DNA sequence: GATAACTTGTGAAGAAATTCACAAGTTCAT
DNA sequence: ATGAACTTGTGAATTTCTTCACAAGTTATC
């Protein structure tokens, strides 16, 4: 294994999306354990909580280093700190929400994001009727201001909560504004340069997955 | 390849989750093509739209049969009908939403679900202050009524939009009520019998995935 | 300090998913 | 009718992901 100092995280090879998702899951469990005052945990216990195997947990972590003690397990505090570091959660991320409809407004009002370091700094909408109104203390801004605003505020992540038909156009604008990550709630497959990170939350797709499971289970 | 009649869908082996997600995606594209009056489409065109490869498209479909014509491609109408059949979308599914907070209310008001055959028949909340109020024409019912209601209405899918701390308890109640599919919006890993289909929509996890990508990209 | 009971980290093996590559079928133009 | 241009369906090859299995390290007990 490649040697590294405690403050650097070596990315030896491309990390699979499934691995990153599990790391995120592990972190949530660790924070839970931390709250309950548990100091140490084994890969087995972590696996049981997340519906995976201890080998999977150890392999996932092994991509980034060796964080455990043989015979003992992992320090909950240390491992969660490491995972936060790996996931890039040591800093605050600036998030904008585009689309102040039902979903966009619900997201803007959901304080779980800011609690985890994702700070919502602006809400945009293309509809002049919505512009100027406030959502959870944020005044809805015209979408036409996005490019200019972005120059000053340099938001990190854009949450797209717009109708499917508008999604691609808005995504293009987002990319043009220099934003490098998109969380897409619109049921539309976005075409973006591969330097842009995109995650989609597609509720229709999840429901159809359940429909399939119920039909063919 | 196993022989089968045109009306039956043979599930030869366990279908991967990723395959089902792609089928759902293909269906969305096909519906789009259908609307635009396109009669025929090749696996290549379908793949380009979804960011995958033509071989992947053909392999995905091959698990369920042969729906195309060599040299020509797929009939848009026929393939989308087949996919709806495969995904179990020929019938209407009865959905209940548990939790009438921000997310729950936004979901209840989002008409995209019913348009796709997922009919929201009830909204529940444990909070007596919310019970009795209406969300988009549905009166919020007390969660304590769920078990009894379910006996009569036999809902198919429960959408969990409750706080993380309550999620497991509510999931247990849902399972006990005979509901076999759960769409979980709570940031909590549910423990349910393996006969129950569960999909999780975890926005914190998606955001952390973006954070990782931005940090290590 | 020796033994028993744990647990990690990791190569190797195994399983699963994706991509390749091509025979076989279809259409169209001439 | 023939040839050219397409496209599917699918075994085989390849790549990726997961699980196995065990050496090596730690702690606790006597």
Tell whether A27 is within 8 A of chain B (Cβ).
yes
Q: Are residues A138 and A199 in the same domain?
A: yes
Distance from CA(B175) to C1'(D21), angstroms, rounded: 38
Q: Are residues A198 and A127 in the same domain?
A: yes
A207 vs B8, higher pLDDT: A207
Q: Are residues B80 and B118 in the same domain?
A: no
Q: What is the pLDDT of residue A12?
A: 54
Q: Are residues B120 and B200 in the same domain?
A: yes
Residue B140 has phi, psi (to 5 degrees) of -70, 130
Tell me the Cα Rg of chain A: 20
Hunting for tokens 């570091």 — which residue is that? A85
Looking at the partner chain, which of A24, A88, A217 has a beta carbon nearest the beta carbon of B205?
A24
Cα A49 from chain centre: 21
CATH number, position B29 = 1.10.10.10
Q: What is the pLDDT of residue B9?
A: 47
Give the residue among A111, A96, A196, A100 at the shortest CA–CA distance from A153: A96
For residue A8, being part of any structural domain is answered with no
With beta carbons less than 8 A apart as the criterion, state whether A113 and A95 touch. yes
Q: Looking at chain B, which residue has its C-alpha nearest residue A112?
A: B204
Q: How confident is the model over B134-170, as pLDDT tens digits?
A: 999 999 999 999 999 999 999 999 999 999 999 999 9
For residue B54, being part of any structural domain is answered with yes
For residue B181, being part of any structural domain is answered with yes
Residue after which a domain boundary falls, among A86, A120, A147: A86
- Give the number of A-B residue pairs with CB atoms closer than 8 Å: 180
For residue B174, being part of any structural domain is answered with yes
Q: Are residues A101 and A174 in the same domain?
A: yes
Tell whether B48 is within 8 A of chain A (Cβ).
no
Looking at the partner chain, which of A24, A102, A107 has a beta carbon nearest the beta carbon of B208?
A24
Q: At what angle do helices A146-153 and A164-176 cross, to 10 degrees?
A: 40
pLDDT at residue B37 is higher than 70: yes
For residue A11, being part of any structural domain is answered with no
For residue A210, being part of any structural domain is answered with no
> Residue A63 sits in which domain range?
17-86
Q: Are residues B21 and B109 in the same domain?
A: no
Q: Which residues contact B82 (CB under 8 A, 6 or more apart)?
A: B64, B65, B67
Residue after which a domain boundary falls, among B71, B87, B103: B87
Q: Are residues A71 and A121 in the same domain?
A: no
Q: Are residues B83 and B97 in the same domain?
A: no
For residue A212, being part of any structural domain is answered with no
- Residues of chain A contacting B4 with CB distance shorter than 8 Å: none
Q: What is the pLDDT of residue B111?
A: 84
Q: Are residues B34 and B108 in the same domain?
A: no
Q: How confident is the model over A33-61, as pLDDT tens digits?
A: 999 999 999 999 999 999 999 999 999 99
Residue after which a domain boundary falls, among A32, A65, A86: A86
CATH number, position B150 = 3.40.50.720
Q: How confident is the model over A25-40, as pLDDT tens digits?
A: 999 999 999 999 999 9
Q: How many domains does chain B have?
A: 2
Q: Which two tokens stand for residue A72?
A: 């003992």
Q: What is the pLDDT of residue B12?
A: 54
Looking at the partner chain, which of A93, A191, A211 has a beta carbon nearest the beta carbon of B93?
A211
For residue A58, being part of any structural domain is answered with yes
Cα A183 to Cα A160: distance, rounded to the nearest angstrom: 6
Residue range A91-108: mean pLDDT, rounded: 95
Tell whether A25 is within 8 A of chain B (Cβ).
yes
């Amino acid at each position: 294994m490649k040697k590294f100092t405690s403050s650097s995280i070596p990315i030896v090879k491309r990390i699979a999306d499934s691995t990153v998702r599990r790391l995120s899951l592990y972190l949530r469990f660790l924070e839970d354990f931390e709250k309950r005052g548990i100091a140490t945990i084994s890969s087995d216990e972590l696996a049981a909580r997340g519906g995976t195997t201890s080998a999977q947990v150890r392999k996932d972590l092994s991509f980034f280093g060796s964080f455990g003690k043989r015979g003992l397990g992992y320090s909950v505090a240390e491992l969660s700190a490491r995972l936060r570091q790996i996931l890039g959660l040591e800093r605050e991320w600036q998030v904008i929400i585009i689309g102040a409809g039902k979903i966009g407004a619900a997201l803007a009002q959901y304080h779980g994001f800011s609690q985890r370091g994702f700070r919502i700094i602006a809400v945009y909408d293309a509809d002049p009727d919505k512009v100027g109104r406030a959502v959870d203390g944020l005044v809805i801004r015209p979408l036409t201001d996005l490019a200019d605003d972005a120059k000053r505020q340099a938001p990190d992540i854009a949450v797209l909560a717009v109708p499917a038909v508008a999604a691609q156009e808005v995504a293009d604008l987002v990319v043009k504004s220099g934003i490098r990550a998109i969380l897409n709630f619109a049921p539309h497959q976005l075409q973006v340069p591969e330097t842009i990170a995109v995650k989609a939350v597609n509720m229709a797709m999840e429901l159809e997955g359940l429909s399939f499971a119920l039909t063919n289970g």
